[in-house]
Amino acid sequence: MNEQTSLIAEIEAYCRQAGVAESTFGRRVVNDGKFVGRLRDGKGVTTATVARVRSYLTEQNETAITEPKSVASEPAARNKSQKSNGSGRDGERVEKKKSAFRFYDNRQKYLMFVNTCSEKWVIAERAGMELAHIHPKPPALRVFDAGMGDGTVITGVMREMHRRFRTLPFYIVGKEISLEDVRLSLEKMSDRFYEHPATVLIVTNLYYTEAPSLTPRSMQAAATLNWIDVPLAGDSAHEFHEQIKDLQPTLAESWQVKPSEKTGNPLYVRPSVMVLYREDHKFLLNSVIPRPGQGYADYDLIIASQPYRARMPIDFKIQKVIAPLSRALAPGGRLLGIHSHGRDPGLEIIRRVWPGETPFITNRHELLKGLKQELGKTHRDLNFNAYADKRALFRYDMHTLPSEVGDNGAGIGTSTLLAAWNAATYVAQIEDERLEEVIAEQDYLDATRSVLNEYKGLWFNDESYVVSRRRD
């Protein structure tokens, strides 16, 4: 078994480096797409097969060393030969940047997902339920959205806030690094300013450790902080919309990003904070409107919906995201965390293409246990609520016509299959390099069609947890 485990590890390392799906590896080497999955299940393998696999791996490794610039058969080698320029060190750097998965910058995938699935609606309803448990204090009800996305969640929550707290001023901070998402979010806000005039909306690209207080941590970043004050004139949604639309050049300049050399995820070029409010309510909101250097982290509700990659190590999730947000809770405040859970038809699609794939490596129990240890005794007033599955787990669906999926699958259109495949791979966060290899072989459509017919549609499971601070 030790030799078998070692072989699995070698295969996984090769597939990651070469950008090859494990099913493709199995078909190429031993003519069995489920070979790696059978290994994981502990199925026996002959000595001859082991020798064949190791011979293939050795040959590929030798080729990569001796012929780094040749046009190889593997996609990763081909891409490396095309992208590499200059010294070997430069080529390695280029390849590293290419292979780093820019999950939060896959705009087309993201937009197709949010427009074909109901996740944002369901999360907005779930977050709205938390408003029944908060106890805001003057001068405003304070909400932090740890990743605005296209703005669907926060606008839904703002509608529920208005229903429950019609006369309270709102202080809402939305963290978002993506320029496209900031644009989409602000497009939805003109109606919010009309319905609830006592609203202060702050949009920022600061990191999770900085955004709650609107203050960069480093002196250099603080010195270059781009603070944009936007008083909206007029009293109609149309007037607000026109002024928000005119902010596009400012946004394009202020929300520039650069990819991280380590992860590929976008980082801000210049820290920016944009503060929007109605000019005719400036006097009333004087104590609510933030000023540079005077922000404070003290929130009644924090929404942390999918704020991290599922595959990131648990220490990263805790130290870089959840711990800073938990520290930003006001007395009586609540942090709602939500991430993908799996055990659904979406994951089944993934595993029919990549057997043994496990994208969701951290559950809510493990996360809260680690968070409690990270915060230690300095935050004894925090409660960590994982809840039972009945309360913590919830489902969202991909939109399909009732008559479109059936037993034989004849009625499933290509657009529905592609939307389902996109949703499954987006939720599972499959890298582009692995997708390219699978799409070329067309087997993924059969797997998607089969699952849709079996379950009469497609849905996914999210799990939630709550961190709350005791009231004074």
**pLDDT tens profile 386-407:** 999 999 999 999 998 877 776 5
Whether the Cβ atoms of residue 144 and residue 302 lie closer than 8 Å to each other: yes
d(CA 352, CA 346): 10
For residue 108, give both structure tokens. 């087309």
Write down the pTM of the prediction.
Answer: 0.78
pLDDT in tens, 245-270: 999 999 999 999 988 777 667 889 99
Q: Where are the domains of the chain?
A: 1-66, 70-99, 107-343+361-389, 395-463
The answer to whether the CB of 260 falls within 8 A of the CB of 96 is no
SS3 162: helix
Q: Which helix (H) or strand (E) holds 398?
A: none
The one-letter amino acid code at 324 reads P
Task: Summarize pLDDT for 219-253 with one digit per residue, the tens.
Answer: 889 999 999 999 999 999 999 999 999 999 999 99
Q: Which two tokens stand for residue 383?
A: 């409660």
Inform me whether the pLDDT recorded for 430 exceeds 70.
yes
Answer whether residue 471 shows pLDDT above 80: yes
CA nearest 121: which of 142, 163, 149, 162?
A: 149
Lowest mean pLDDT among 133-142, 172-181, 399-408, 456-465: 399-408
Residue 31 to residues 5, 8, 17, 26, 436: CA-CA distances in angstroms? 21, 17, 21, 6, 20
Looking at domain 1-66, its CATH class is: mainly alpha
Question: 298 with 332: CB under 8 angstroms?
Answer: no
